[in-house]
């Protein structure tokens, strides 16, 4: 008898799935409800964003919450006024000029991937809510971005001021382009013709960053489909695939598996996933041999398997079925064990083991604290379980038994009170590491609060890297008054011994990134002599401030007076003694660039080739 479907279910697999599903409970349901914003009808990304200036509910988190509500059988219990608020939330974020959807806190200057994702998320959410966008979509044949009526523009600005929404008069205008694509100026250039799309695909880094490349292509799928350029994508990604692994990229790690997951949505029964047998072998290998660094690395492999096996037109192969049946119990057990590593004390799950991700699609969405976040809970833990049930071809039990609790929490939620943010930074590290507001980068380093090596009763911040090969930093953002005339920076530091060259860079500025850096202090060693200097660029050792000794504490004080390119001043004291007055600031080699005035971000960076430890204590930054 011929089979056309994979039969993977067994009593052992069924029991393993039930055990896995138990990690999603009432606490998770109520955590999702707690992210609701009763004023806008949207959902926040994480608790640290609620009520905080510069943060707001966002399109992606709200779309994910709606998917959770629908997937767990709670949608039909949604009160009508909540539904209307959610509709208004999405509709109010559509730009009438381009048809795209943007969160006001991020604006329109977002990555291609975020712009495309928010478009498909908002359109899908409105469809599920029984509503439509107010304006033509970017790829609509009625879209003419080069001309929009003044009444429509005034209506848009009126909405921005008054919270009202006006309708849009559609004007047919787009012209098809020979060979695919459309003549719609508000679409990104790479979506306007087959040649432009091919060039864009070729510009992505499929070797070193295959996930990022796949993510960009996946995010644009709905637009690419609408403008009739799918064949361009098929041709390119099938050429670019590694036929030995069935993945994209050189290896068989979770990075390459994640890239394949992103691209798997392009394949259907009409266009099956190429080299699927190799992909399944590679995915099982990656699961068993690589450690997830974020919760989506738990979800991505099972997403890929479920998508290809159940929806990707995979021809039946008894060897593939045997491989999957043999490994399913281990994969499910692996998923549960890994997901629980991301469990947080607030009852749900976080993007990183240490806590929430401070950014999503390049936008700042939280403080990155030890807390759960919407992406981890819904696109991570919940999605992982969904895909494993789909792979086993059985229906997942829902959390609908908590529907009343969920909607009661939302209906009765009072408006969130704004958080009063203290100005400046004052941190003595006399608390536990779990409470740290400093966030680390990726890389082979560690950070935390430890006992002072010279005084066990004192607690200090330790930033450490024990292997060379990658840089590592910890950072913290804080509030500061705008346009300060003077900023005082004070902290104690102690460095370990390290090989000749740069050990650490201490950056202070208005945000992360060199363009936002005001001051850059380097701790280095040459010929056995350790010193601290100030650099105006990323090259060289900069201007010497003072020699120092390793394993000795120093008090470092700076008074920064930003002015013009010629009269900015910095007064530096060490252990209470003035050692330098400098007329310089970090300009990254552009001497015409004015100084960054506002200092509200600090980061401590360990150099790529350094194996070193930095201790910091009693840091205080105040502006006036």
- Give the domain CATH number at 136: 1.50.10
Instruction: Judge if 350 and 452 occupy the same domain.
Output: no
Q: Is residue 4, in this structure, part of any structural domain at all? A: no
Tokens of 564: 């013009």
Q: What is the pLDDT of residue 452?
A: 98
The residues facing 617 across adjacent strands are 492
Domain count of the chain? 2
pLDDT of residue 185: 75
> How much is the pLDDT for 141?
80
Residue 5 located in a structural domain: no
Of 411, 442, 469, the domain-final residue: 411
| Phi (first) and psi of residue 332, to 5 degrees | -65, -45
Q: How many of the other CB atoms lie within 10 Å of CB of 452?
A: 17
Q: Which domain holds residue 303?
A: 27-411
Report the pLDDT value the prediction gives residue 156, as an integer from 0 to 100: 40
Taking the CA atoms of 342, 344, 350 and 355 in sequence, report the sign of the dihedral they define. negative
Q: Do residue 439 and residue 407 come from a single domain?
A: no
Q: Which residues contact 76 (CB under 8 A, 6 or more apart)?
A: none
User: 502 and 386, same structural domain?
Assistant: no
pLDDT of residue 2: 43
- Does one domain contain both 494 and 369? no
Tell me the C-alpha to C-alpha distance, in Å, between residue 289 and each of 282, 283, 410, 582: 10, 10, 42, 53
Task: Answer yes or no: do 49 and 180 share one domain.
Answer: yes
**Across the beta sheet with 543-548, what order do the strands follow?**
439-440, 472-477, 601-606, 501-509, 517-526, 529-534, 543-548
SS3 331: helix
How crowded is the C-beta side of 208, counted as CA atoms within 13 Å? 3
Name the 3-class secondary structure at 70: helix
**Domain end point (choices 411, 438, 468):** 411
278 occurs within a structural domain: yes
pLDDT at 161 (0 to 100): 35
Is 466 found in the same domain as 391? no
Residue 7 located in a structural domain: no
Task: Note the pLDDT of residue 292.
Answer: 94
In a domain, 9, yes or no: no
pTM for the structure as a whole? 0.74
Question: Would you say the C-alpha torsion 612, 533, 593, 619 has a positive or negative sign?
Answer: positive
What is the model's pLDDT at position 218? 92
In the numeric block, which tokens belong to residue 43? 């959902």
- Is 111 in the same domain as 177? yes
Per-residue confidence (pLDDT) for residue 436, from 0 to 100: 79
Helices (H), 192-273: 194-203, 210-219, 221-226, 230-240, 254-264
Give the residue from 360, 386, 411 where a domain finishes: 411
Same domain (yes/no): 429, 390: no
At 168, list the tokens: 């849009």
- Structure-token match 């033509």, residue found: 136
Q: Residue 1: inside a domain, yes or no?
A: no
CA distance 474 to 298: 25
- What per-residue confidence (pLDDT) applies to 435? 74
At 411 the pLDDT is: 98
Low-confidence ranges of the chain (pLDDT < 70): 1-4, 144-183, 434
168 lies in some domain: yes
Distance of CA 291 to the CA centre of its chain: 19
* C-beta separation of 292 from 338 below 8 A: yes
Cα 325 to Cα 113: distance, rounded to the nearest angstrom: 36
Verify that 353 and 400 share a domain, yes or no: yes
Q: Other C-beta atoms within 10 Å of 623: how many?
A: 21
Kind plus residue range of the DSSP H or E element containing 452: strand 445-452
Are residues 473 and 351 located together in one domain of the fold? no
Do 403 and 543 belong together in one domain? Answer: no
CATH of the domain at 549: 2.60.120.200
Query: Is 2 contained in some domain?
Result: no
One domain, residues 314 and 457: no
Q: For residue 107, give the nearest of 54, 145, 31 by alpha carbon.
A: 54
> What's the pLDDT at 167?
36
């Amino acid at each position: 008898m011929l089979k056309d479907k994979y039969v993977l279910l067994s009593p052992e697999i069924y029991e393993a799935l039930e055990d896995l599903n138990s990690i999603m409970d009432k606490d998770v349901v109520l955590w999702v409800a707690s992210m609701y914003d009763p004023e806008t009808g949207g959902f926040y990304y994480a608790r640290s964003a609620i009520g905080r200036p510069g943060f707001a509910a966002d399109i992606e988190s709200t779309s994910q919450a709606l998917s959770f509500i629908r997937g767990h059988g709670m949608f039909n219990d949604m009160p009508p006024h909540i539904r209307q608020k959610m509709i208004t939330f999405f509709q109010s974020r559509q730009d009438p000029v381009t048809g795209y959807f943007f969160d006001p806190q991020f604006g329109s200057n977002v990555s291609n991937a975020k712009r495309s994702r928010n478009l498909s998320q908002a359109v899908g959410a409105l469809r599920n809510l029984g509503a439509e966008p107010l304006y033509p979509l970017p790829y609509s044949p009625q879209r003419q971005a080069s001309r929009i009526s003044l009444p429509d523009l005034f209506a848009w600005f009126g909405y921005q001021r008054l919270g009202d929404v006006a309708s849009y008069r559609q004007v047919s205008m787009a012209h098809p382009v020979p060979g695919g694509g459309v003549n719609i100026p508000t679409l990104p250039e790479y979506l306007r013709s087959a040649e432009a799309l091919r060039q864009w695909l070729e510009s992505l880094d499929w070797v070193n960053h295959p996930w990022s490349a796949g993510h960009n292509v996946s995010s644009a799928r709905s637009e690419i489909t609408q403008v009739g350029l799918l064949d361009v994508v098929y041709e390119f990604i099938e050429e670019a695939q590694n036929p030995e692994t069935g993945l994209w990229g050189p290896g068989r790690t979770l990075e390459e598996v994640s890239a394949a997951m992103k691209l798997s949505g392009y394949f259907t029964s009409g266009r099956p996933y190429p080299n699927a047998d190799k992909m399944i072998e590679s995915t099982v290998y990656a699961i068993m041999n690589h450690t997830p660094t974020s919760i989506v690395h738990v979800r991505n492999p099972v997403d890929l398997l479920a998508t290809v096996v159940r929806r990707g037109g995979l021809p039946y192969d008894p060897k593939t079925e045997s491989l999957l049946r043999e490994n399913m119990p281990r994969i499910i057990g692996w998923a549960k064990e890994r997901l629980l590593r991301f469990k947080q004390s607030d009852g749900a799950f976080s993007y990183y083991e240490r806590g929430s991700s401070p950014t999503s699609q390049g936008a700042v969405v939280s403080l990155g604290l030890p807390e759960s976040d919407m992406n981890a809970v819904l696109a991570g833990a919940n999605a992982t379980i969904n895909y494993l049930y789909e792979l086993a071809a059985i229906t997942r039990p829902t959390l609908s038994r908590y529907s009343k609790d969920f909607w009661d929490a939302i209906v009765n939620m009072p408006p969130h009170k704004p958080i009063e943010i203290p100005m400046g930074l004052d941190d003595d590290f006399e608390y536990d590491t779990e409470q740290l507001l400093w966030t680390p980068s990726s890389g082979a380093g560690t950070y935390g609060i430890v006992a002072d090596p010279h005084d066990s009763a004192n607690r200090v911040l330790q930033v450490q890297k024990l292997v060379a090969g990658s840089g590592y930093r910890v950072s913290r953002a804080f509030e500061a008054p705008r346009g300060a005339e003077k900023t005082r920076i004070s902290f104690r530091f102690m460095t370990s011994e390290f090989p000749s060259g740069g050990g650490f860079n201490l950056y202070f500025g208005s945000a992360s990134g060199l363009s936002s850096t005001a001051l850059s202090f380097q701790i280095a060693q040459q010929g056995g002599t350790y010193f601290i200097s100030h650099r105006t660029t990323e090259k060289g050792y900069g201007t010497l401030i003072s020699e120092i000794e390793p394993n000795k504490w120093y008090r470092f004080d700076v008074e920064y007076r930003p002015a013009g390119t010629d009269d900015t001043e910095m007064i530096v004291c060490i252990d209470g003694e003035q050692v330098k007055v400098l007329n310089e600031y970090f300009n990254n080699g552009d001497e015409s660039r004015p100084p960054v005035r506002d200092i509200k971000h600090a980061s401590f960076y360990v150099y790529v080739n350094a194996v070193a430890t930095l201790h910091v204590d009693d840091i205080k930054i105040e502006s006036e």
